[in-house]
């Protein structure tokens, strides 16, 4: 019996074993060297070239060795140290810039110069509470004093009280007039009293009609149902108006009793004072039934005015 065939088979088994050992899972390696050895055995020494993409993929899936791990760690440490150095340098530069910006008066020195500042601390002796102490004052510095004066300025040495508003009137025109009359106002006078105004309730061209119209033109109040001209003073007092016998401002109402200074002997009359002259005389504006809404004017002396009642506000 011939055994040559058996030897050939044994050789084939050895080749298969080598190939199997190269790719056995127990070795846990697929390195490029092992692959080439396997190719050499399988092809009887003829190496088959691998495409670059295949080589890169094999290198990617190869398990890392201790050497590769060490080299990767050293490379990472060097990169981290470089990043820290750059960050530290930037921080130091920013701090130096901030310090110099916050101290613009701080002197700068040329490279290589050194400066030295010497401070001398002087001992201060302890003083008991019973001892008298000298004032804390530096030489050549004037002491501070609480005493002094103040003023409004060279052109304003006093306050002009008359120019300050003291009125609580809701009507701005009345408030201005009250500021002028503050020293002569009746005691307890209320500038916000009832006005009795609900609209012009007087017949056209009557003296009362014109007084109501003119008062509203001047921004002053007038009642709507104050009666005939001769009754206006009593009606005004009842509502809270300031009434006396003196003409004070343009817009005051001059009341004529029945028959007084040519007025109606039955109804009396009212007129608007348009101007108060320095001598106390006044100029009026008036209307009547026969004037068809047109007005006329008269001048009364101070003595004549004093004989009439005058409604202010």
**What does 113-180 look like in DSSP terms, one character per residue?**
--------PPP-----TTS-------TT-PPP-S-----S-TT-SS--GGGS-----SSHHHHHHHHH
Query: What are the start-end ranges of the E strands in 178-252?
Result: 243-244
- All residue ranges of the chain with pLDDT < 50 are 1-2, 5, 7-8, 11, 18-19, 21-29, 46-47, 107, 109-113, 127
Structural domains in the chain (count): 2
pLDDT at residue 86 in the model: 66
Q: What is the pLDDT of residue 17?
A: 52
pTM: predicted TM-score of the whole model, two decimal places = 0.50
**108, part of any domain:** no
| Separation of alpha carbons 96 and 113, rounded Å | 18
CA–CA distance, 14 with 12 (Å, rounded to integer): 5
Please check whether residue 116 lies inside any domain of the structure. no
* Whole-number pLDDT of residue 23: 47
pLDDT at 8: 45
Q: Is 253 inside a domain boundary?
A: yes
What is the CATH classification number for the domain harbouring 237? 3.90.1720.10
Q: Is residue 78 part of a domain?
A: no
Residue 96 tokens, joined? 């130096």
**Domain hosting residue 221, numbered range:** 198-311
Which of residues 43, 61, 79 is at a domain's end? 61
177 belongs to a structural domain: no
Question: Distance between CA atoms of 233 and 84, rounded to whole angstroms?
Answer: 99
On whether residue 166 sits in a domain, the answer given is no
Distance separating alpha carbons of residues 155 and 153, to the nearest angstrom: 5
Answer yes or no: is 118 within a domain. no
Query: Quick one: pLDDT at residue 35?
Result: 57
How much is the pLDDT for 141? Answer: 52
Last residue of a domain, one of 17, 32, 61: 61
């Amino acid at each position: 019996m011939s055994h040559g065939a058996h030897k050939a088979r044994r050789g084939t088994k050895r080749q298969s074993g080598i190939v199997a050992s190269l790719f056995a899972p127990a070795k846990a390696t697929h390195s490029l060297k092992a692959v080439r050895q396997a190719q050499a055995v399988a092809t009887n020494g003829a190496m088959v070239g691998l495409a670059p993409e295949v080589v890169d993929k094999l290198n990617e899936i190869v398990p890392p060795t201790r050497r590769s791990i060490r080299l990767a760690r050293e490379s990472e440490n060097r990169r981290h140290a470089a990043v820290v150095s750059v960050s530290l340098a930037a921080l130091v530069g920013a701090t130096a810039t901030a310090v110099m910006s916050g101290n613009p008066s701080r002197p700068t020195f040329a490279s290589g110069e050194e400066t030295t500042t010497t401070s001398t601390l002087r001992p201060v002796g302890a003083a008991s509470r019973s001892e008298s102490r000298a004032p804390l004052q530096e030489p050549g510095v004037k002491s501070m004093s609480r005493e002094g004066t103040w003023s409004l300025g060279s052109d304003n040495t006093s306050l002009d009280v008359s120019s300050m508003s003291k009125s609580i009137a809701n009507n701005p025109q009345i408030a201005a007039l009250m500021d002028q009359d503050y020293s002569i106002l009746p005691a307890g006078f209320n500038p916000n009293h009832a006005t009795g105004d609900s609209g012009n309730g007087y017949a056209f061209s009557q003296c009362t009609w014109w007084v109501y119209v003119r008062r509203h033109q001047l921004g002053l109040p007038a009642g709507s149902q104050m009666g005939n001209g001769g009754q206006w003073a009593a009606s005004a007092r009842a509502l809270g108006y300031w009434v006396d016998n003196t003409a004070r401002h343009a817009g005051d109402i001059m009341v004529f009793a029945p028959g007084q200074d040519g007025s109606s002997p039955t109804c009396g009359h009212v007129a608007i004072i348009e101007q108060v002259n320095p001598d106390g005389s006044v100029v009026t504006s008036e209307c009547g039934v026969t004037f068809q809404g047109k007005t006329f004017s008269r001048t009364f002396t101070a003595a004549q005015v004093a004989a009439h009642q005058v409604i202010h506000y």
